Amino acid sequence: MSDFPDPRTGGYSPRVSKPESALLDFAVDRSSPVPLYYQLAQQLEGAIEHGRLAPGSLLGNEIELAGRLGLSRPTVRQAIQSLVDKGLLVRRRGVGTQVVHSQVKRPLELSSLYDDLQAAGQSPATQVRRNEIQAASAEVAAALGVAEGSEVVLLERLRSTYGEPMAYLSNYIPPDLLNLDTAKLEATGLYRLMRAAGVTLHSAQQTVGARSATPDEGKLLAEDPGAALLTMRRTTYDDKGRAVEYGTHIYRASRYAFEFQLLVRS
Amino acid sequence: MSDFPDPRTGGYSPRVSKPESALLDFAVDRSSPVPLYYQLAQQLEGAIEHGRLAPGSLLGNEIELAGRLGLSRPTVRQAIQSLVDKGLLVRRRGVGTQVVHSQVKRPLELSSLYDDLQAAGQSPATQVRRNEIQAASAEVAAALGVAEGSEVVLLERLRSTYGEPMAYLSNYIPPDLLNLDTAKLEATGLYRLMRAAGVTLHSAQQTVGARSATPDEGKLLAEDPGAALLTMRRTTYDDKGRAVEYGTHIYRASRYAFEFQLLVRS
DNA sequence: CAGTGGTCTAGACCACAGT
DNA sequence: CTGTGGTCTAGACCACTGA
């Protein structure tokens, strides 16, 4: 029962390779406050990302992996499960756990346009066009779960990259949630300010559609009237279920598209 | 140390109610092949959906719940965790597990337009416009991971509701994957046929954008030339990482929008 | 048949929240 | 302080896969 690769083996099965010896490098630090399963998950994810674990390769069975790392099987399973949830690994009973064959791109998340653009190296610029208190319309009141006519903050921002407008963002925010400093809003994104103010974002309901630009919108975004715009309406909730933000945004379809990866619910 | 509610207690905390006695109804069937944690998760989900567990109500601690159901704590945790992942429950250390306050709408999933429309009671109709073998263009070959010029099935369908066109769907599919019977395609959706053919859908990479309709597209969809269209480009992968479908679709923005819920990655 | 993941148990100690 | 969820262990039996 040798665990070593057979030097006489010259080829690989077409879609399944042998358990990878790259796993031998793994080790956990029991003195760290980071949970053991999380340490393992991060090392696995790193190995996959850097190609040390090739797509299609088998991880080796859970019992042996646990033994080698000095962990229990449930702990190892917890690490593996978190990567299965992310779509990086696939488990098959009777076969084993293997790295998915296709490249995983971006996971789907509650995206901040600011962060998206920054991650793409586009150094976004924000101009705050309005930042004031208004009476909530029926639509806004329904979305935020407040009384119609009660005070909400209206925030309108023009987001540009490379000196060209890209999107016009309109947000409605409960006034007691946080202080919206215009200077800070022009330096970073709304979600970052919310997180810094102790708001824990939890979920969002989104609708993505399209329509033609009105003359005013065309002027704002440097598009011809009638040009196609991408529209997004979003209500964001915190971990206690409070609506913390309602937004109606328009994007220049010539310069922006939503890109994301979905996992099938099992 | 009484576990009974105090009858003198008349009021509730503003956002947190007491553990619900509705949980006393729960029971698991050990003779069923359905996993115990899954049985419990379904009963919890049902109780939340039907309002027997009110938003904000506490579930009661895991140890006690496990004891009452005759389950171990890890099993109960697995059930609760699956609902936390779905966004129905929130756990807070030192406090307990409670039902989220806001209504959860649709979870995000790999949606089939056909299923979406049927769920909305719109009884969709499909007309297959093309169903033939073609040589893969560079774009299609790259998306499907096949050689440029190799054979792929090109499928073009017009999807209508209430006798009005709604979307024009163009798909490219590896020819050896399944038989695409035109009659079946007009009676159901592509994903359902794939699942019936033993294909396990796993993930998809999507891009959603917008543009103006060309004169030809306007004619197809009964829109004026220049009208705003919603566009979606999607590559779908199976559980082994094979690309099983590449599609470029256009939707009438006047009649359709993508709606979904996102959960924040923690 | 042997090997894999899927499920389940009965404990344990810890960190954090609210009193 | 008490009570909660967060983490972890060391086993067990079962169902499915593939040879």
What is the CA A189 to C1' C13 distance in angstroms?
Answer: 41
> Do A237 and B102 lie within an 8 Å CB cutoff?
yes
For chain B, first and last CA: distance in Å? 37
pLDDT beyond 70 at B241: yes
Mutation target to probe the A interface, by most A beta carbons within 10 A, among B15, B93, B237 is B237
At A7 the pLDDT is 29
Nucleotides of C under 7 A from a protein CB: 2-12, 15-18
Residue at minimal CA–C1' distance from C8?
B75
pLDDT beyond 50 at B25: yes
Mutation target to probe the B interface, by most B beta carbons within 10 A, among A109, A203, A242 is A203
A7: helix, strand or coil: coil
Tens digits of residue pLDDT in A54-76: 887 888 889 988 988 889 999 99
- Residue B147: which pLDDT band, with cuts at 50, 70 and 90? very high
CA distance B68 to B64: 6
B12: helix, strand or coil: coil
pLDDT beyond 90 at B158: yes
Tens digits of residue pLDDT in B242-262: 889 999 999 999 999 888 777
- Measured at the CA of A170, the angle between CA A169 and CA A172, to 5 degrees, comes to 140
At B22 the pLDDT is 53
> Of B207 and A106, which is predicted with more confidence?
B207
Tell which CATH architecture fits domain A3-99.
Orthogonal Bundle (1.10)
Q: Which of residues 211-250 of B touch A (CB under 8 A)?
A: 211-212, 226-231, 237, 239-243
CA A251 to chain centre: 19
Q: Which residues neighbour A52 within 8 Å (Cβ) at sequence distance 6 or greater?
A: A20, A22
A119: helix, strand or coil: helix
Query: For residue A12, how many C-alpha atoms fall within 13 Å in the half-sphere facing its CB?
Result: 12
Which amino acid is it at A164? E
Report the topology of domain B104-259: Chorismate lyase (3.40.1410)
Q: Which residues neighbour B211 within 8 Å (Cβ) at sequence distance 6 or greater?
A: A228, A253, A254, B228, B229, B231
- Residue B5: which pLDDT band, with cuts at 50, 70 and 90? very low
Name the residue among A105, A123, A107 with its Cα closest to residue A115. Answer: A123
What is the CA A123 to C1' D7 distance in angstroms?
Answer: 40
> Do B209 and A15 lie within an 8 Å CB cutoff?
no
**pLDDT per residue of chain A (266 residues) written in tens, 0 to 9:** 333 333 222 223 334 445 544 555 788 888 888 899 999 999 999 988 888 888 878 888 899 889 888 899 999 999 999 998 887 888 888 888 988 876 555 545 556 667 676 766 677 899 999 999 999 999 999 999 899 999 999 999 999 988 899 999 999 999 888 888 999 999 988 988 888 888 888 778 888 999 999 999 999 999 999 999 999 999 988 877 788 999 999 999 999 988 877 776 65
Q: Which of A109, A204, A228 sits opposite B228 (nearest CB)?
A: A228
| Number of CB pairs, chain A paired with chain B, less than 8 A apart | 168
Residue at minimal CA–C1' distance from D2?
B94
pLDDT beyond 50 at B134: yes
> Of B26 and A103, which is predicted with more confidence?
B26
Output the pTM of the full model: 0.78
Least confident span in A163-167, B10-14, B70-74, B180-184: B10-14
Beta carbons of A188 and A114 less than 8 angstroms apart: yes
At B4 the pLDDT is 32
Least confident span in A131-135, B32-36, B130-134: B32-36
pLDDT beyond 50 at B196: yes
B173: helix, strand or coil: strand
Burial class of residue A253 (count of CB atoms within 10 Å of its CB; 0-12, 13-18, 19+) = buried
At A17 the pLDDT is 46
CA distance B10 to B31: 42
- CATH 3.40.1410.10 domain span(s) along chain B: 104-259
At A109 the pLDDT is 57
Q: What residues in A contact B100, CB-CB < 8 Å? A: 202-203, 237, 239-241
Average pLDDT in the B133-162 region?
94
Q: What residues in B contact A101, CB-CB < 8 Å? A: 237, 240-242
pLDDT beyond 60 at B17: no
Which amino acid is it at B255? R
